[in-house]
Amino acid sequence: MGIQMILNAKAVYGVPVKIYTQDVDEESLIQLRKMAQLQFVHSHIAVMPDVHVGKGATVGSVVPTKNAIIPATVGVDIGCGMNALRLSLKAAQLPDNLSALRNAIERKVPVGFEMHKQIKAKASTLSPLDKQLQVITRKHPALTRMLRHFNSTWQKQLGTLGGGNHFIELCVDENQDVWIMLHSGSRGLGNVIGTYFIERAKKEAQHRFGHVPDKDLSYFAEGSTSFDDYVEAVAWAQHYAYENRREMMRLVLEAIRPLLPSFQMTKEAINCHHNYVQKETHFGEEVYVTRKGAIRAGLGEYGIIPGSMGAQSFIVRGKGNPESFCSCSHGAGRKMSRSKAKQVFSQQDLIAQTNGIECRKDKSVVDEIPAAYKDIQHVMANQQDLIEVVHTLKQVLCVKG
C-alpha cells in the first residue's frame, strides 16, 4: 500500500501531509495540521504507518525543512535507534532455559536509571566525544548544571540501556539464525541537550519565517548562532547514541560468550537512528530532514523495524521512495499511552502475552505489554511501497529497563 490519507493545509500557507495509514488518532492529526502551516517546510510532510501523538511533535513524522530546524521535532531522545547483529549460531544451539543468558546480560549492561560503576568505553571512543563536548559546553555552560555529576555521568552511561521502550533481545529469524537486537539512544545527556535547546527555541521565538501555530514548533533559523550551536550539539548527541549502541553490543557479546557454543559475528550488522536530523537532497532541494520515529530507507539501505516485546521484528531494505523522503516506520507504534496501558492491563495479561519469551513479567513493565502497541503486521502491510523485508525475527529473550 502507498499513501492512504492526505491532509491539505487550509491556512494561508501550508503543505500537504501524506500519511501511509488510516489508523491515525485525532491528537496526531491536530499536531500534523499545525506543523503543515510552517512556511519553511519543503514540499510536504510524510507520516509513517506507526504514527501516534508525541511530545512536541508527532511520532512517525518525516519533516523536511529549508533554512530552519525545530528542536522539539527531533525531541529529547536524540539519536535513539536500533542495532542488530546476526551470529553464526542456530536456534537449536541455544539452551532450553534462557534465564542465565538474561541474567548475564543484565549484569553486564545497566538498565533503567543505572549506569556503570566505572567508565567502560575505550579512550579511543571517549576522547573525540569529550573534546567536542567541551566546545559545546564552553558556549552553553548551563548544560553542565542540568545533569548530576556531569562529566562522569555521560561517560559511565556509555554502554547502558535506559528505560521505557528501550530493550536488548535475542531473536531467531526465518532460517533459525540467532540475532542480537537492541534499542537505545543518547541517554541522560541527550535528554539534557534536547530539553535545553527546545526551551531556548521557545524563549528566542524567532519569527524570520512568520509566527508559529504552537510553541512546541519554535525553531532556529539558519544563520543564527542558536541554529549553528544546535546543529553542533545534536550531531554530538547522535554520535553518542551510535557509540552507546556499539558499546552495548560489545558488552552483550561479552556476557553471552561463556554461556554459548563458540560463535562468530556475520557481516550483517546494522546501526541506525530513528530520532534525528540530517541534511539531504529531496525534490531538487537541499533540506534538513527530521525523522521523529522513522528510519531512513534509501534505495538498498538496510534498517530495523521492531515490533513489541511479543511480536515479530524485521530487517528491511529500503526502496528509496521519494514521497516518503526515503523513509519508513521505526516500529509498531503505540496505540495507547503508558498510563492507560497500566489501567487496562494486569500483570497476568503481561505474562500471557509474553508466553514463551524469557523476559521480565512484573508490574513495572506492564506499560510495555504487546497489546499497548499497534499490530506490526498491519504496519508492515501499509509500507510495502517503502521497504522490502529481508529477515523476519522473533524474540526469545528480552531485557527491558
Q: Which residues are annotated as a binding site for GMP?
A: 165-169, 274-275, 306-309, 313, 330-333, 400
| Residues making up the binding site for Mn(2+) | 77, 166, 183, 274
| Residues making up the binding site | 77, 165-169, 183, 274-275, 306-309, 313, 330-333, 400
Cite the active site residues. 330
d(CA 148, CA 142): 12
d(CA 53, CA 61): 10
